[in-house]
Amino acid sequence: MKAADIQTFFATLQAANPQPQTELAFASVFELLTSVLLSAQATDVSVNKATRQLFVVANTPQKILDLGLDGLESHIKTIGLYHAKARHLLQTCRMLVDLHGGQVPRSREALQALPGVGRKTANVVLNVAFGEPTMAVDTHIFRLGNRTGLAPGKTPLAVEQQLLKRVPERFLTDAHHWLILPGRYVCQARTPRCWQCAVAGCCDFKPKTARPASMA
Q: Catalytic positions, please?
A: 120, 138
Distance of CA 67 to the CA centre of its chain: 27
Contacts of 216 by beta carbon, 8 Å cutoff, 6+ apart? none
Measure the CA–CA gap between 23 and 208, rounded to whole angstroms: 28
- Cα(216)–Cα(213) distance, integer angstroms: 5
Q: Is the peptide bond between 152 and the residue preceding it cis, with omega within 30 degrees of 0?
A: no
- CA 55/CA 31 separation, integer angstroms: 8
SS3 71: helix
User: Residue 150: what are its φ and ψ, rounded to 5°?
Assistant: -65, -45
CA angle 143, 113, 133 (to 5 degrees): 50
**In whole angstroms, what is the distance from residue 198 CA to residue 177 CA?**
15
Q: What's CA 193's distance to the chain center, in Å?
A: 21
